Amino acid sequence: MALGFGIVGTGMISNFHAKALADVRGAKLVACYDRAPGRAEQFGEEQGCAAYDSLDEMLASSDVDCVAVATPSGAHMEPAVAAARAGKHVLIEKPLEITLKRCDKIIKECEKAGVKLAAVFPSRFHDSFVALKKAVDKDRFGRLTLGDAYVKWYRTQEYYDSGAWRGTWALDGGGALMNQAIHTVDLLTWLMGPVVEIQALIDTLAHERIEVEDVAVATLRFENGALGVIEATTAAYPGYLKRIELHGSQGSAVVEEEDIKKWDFAKKLKSDEAIHKSMKGKKSTGGGAADPSAIGHHGHAMQIADFIKAIKKDGTPSVDGYEGRRSVEIIQGIYKAAMTGKSVKLPLKGEPKHG
């Protein structure tokens, strides 16, 4: 029997959730809610689901088994907690929340209610990053030495002006890092392991009327001793595909968007050539480099399938609340390092004060 999903927040990203749900066996979009008058009704008509003007009423529906939270980043906690208390499983669009305190509240309430929680990081499910993770786990890189993430995107001033929440600390939670680069930050720590030390600089160089950074550079030390770099911007015209680079004493790999560009190991395997062939030219979108809507929904579909499997088998989603929290902590660490001008150690003790 299909699990019924209700979407909270019917902005741009909700359309990707709707498309993904339509592609996943065992899932069905049954409801939506938005606090803005008329938006839920319009979305409901377009997607063929019930529209609610009250979150409580949607959560009271026996048709709704799971809630996908797609509100602005700093407004994830309230609907997520309400859904958990109503006994609904919770899927939250990135970031999990914009502060660790709010992340922890969500995790606590979901555990207390006995419902499943997952943070949406669809890039983890792409074939190229699955292959990269397997190579790391099999120690093909030898001693990991460098792990780098580059997100050099472009957003117009009109993008930030299009929503009052965009570019604010209160609801966006940050700029190029928290909104755009967080997917790649998540991938980097998933592949390289925990970050233990950060130094950083951030600035706002190309946009007006925003509180947050449009350029950020950070250097990292990972728990395994490797070093790393994160570069993120929304001020690099015309915008380029995101890139992850992993290097070690016995191997190196580079992935651009979903394409493996470099795959070089001292100890060759028969599967290496197949990886080169199968991954070549596999980009399906521009990855959101210049247009935030220019992304595919296939990663979302794979993650929703993983979420449903965890619910039905009483397992743990691949990207649970704790996994979703990791990238938020790294980004808050970058902000704190940049704002204090000092090296910051993780786990983080005290979050930066913005504004």
What digits encode the pLDDT tens for the residues 157-190?
999 999 899 999 999 999 999 999 999 999 999 9
Please check whether residue 235 is in contact with residue 205, taking contact to mean a CB–CB distance below 8 angstroms: yes
pLDDT band at 278 (very low <50, low <70, confident <90, very high): confident
- Residue 308 has a pLDDT of 98
**Distance in angstroms (rounded) separating the CA atoms of residues 11 and 6:** 14
- For residue 138, give Cα distances in angstroms to 77, 134, 135: 37, 6, 5
Residue ranges per structural domain of the chain = 3-115, 124-289+327-345
- Residue 281 has a pLDDT of 57
Evaluate if residue 289 carries a pLDDT over 80.
no
Evaluate if residue 284 carries a pLDDT over 60.
no
List the strands of the sheet with 89-93, edge to edge: 50-52, 27-33, 3-8, 66-69, 89-93, 117-120
pTM of the model: 0.95
What digits encode the pLDDT tens for the residues 211-237?
999 999 999 999 999 999 999 999 999
- Give me the chain's average pLDDT, please: 95
The domain made up of 124-289+327-345 is a member of CATH 3.30.360.10: yes
Evaluate if residue 41 carries a pLDDT over 70.
yes
Evaluate if residue 134 carries a pLDDT over 90.
yes
* Bridge pairing between strands 195-203 and 344-345: antiparallel
Closest CA to 274 of 128, 92, 84, 71: 128
- Residue 355 has a pLDDT of 55
- For residue 12, give Cα distances in angstroms to 162, 171, 181: 12, 16, 18
Please check whether residue 221 is in contact with residue 147, taking contact to mean a CB–CB distance below 8 angstroms: no
Evaluate if residue 139 carries a pLDDT over 90.
yes
CATH of domain 3-115: 3.40.50.720
- Residue 4 has a pLDDT of 98
Query: Which two structure tokens, joined as six digits, stand for 204?
Result: 């706002």
Closest CA to 32 of 16, 13, 55: 55
Instruction: Report the pLDDT averaged over residues 134-150.
Output: 98
What percent of the residues of the chain are helix, what percent strand, and what percent coil, each to the nearest 5?
40, 25, 40
What digits encode the pLDDT tens for the residues 187-214?
999 999 999 999 999 999 999 999 999 9
**Distance in angstroms (rounded) separating the CA atoms of residues 340 and 295:** 35
**Distance in angstroms (rounded) separating the CA atoms of residues 103 and 275:** 37
Give me the percent of the chain exceeding a pLDDT of 90: 90
- Residue 282 has a pLDDT of 57
Name the residue with higher pLDDT: 87 or 292. 87
The length of the chain, given as a count of residues: 355
- Residue 294 has a pLDDT of 61
Query: Which two structure tokens, joined as six digits, stand for 140?
Result: 């093909």
pLDDT band at 286 (very low <50, low <70, confident <90, very high): low
Residue 277: which residues within 8 A CB-CB, separation 6 or more?
none
- Residue 285 has a pLDDT of 56
What digits encode the pLDDT tens for the residues 254-270?
999 989 999 999 999 99
Looking at the DSSP bridge assignments, the partners of residue 63 are: none
What digits encode the pLDDT tens for the residues 290-320?
766 666 799 999 999 999 999 999 999 999 9
**Distance in angstroms (rounded) separating the CA atoms of residues 13 and 10:** 7
pLDDT band at 34 (very low <50, low <70, confident <90, very high): very high
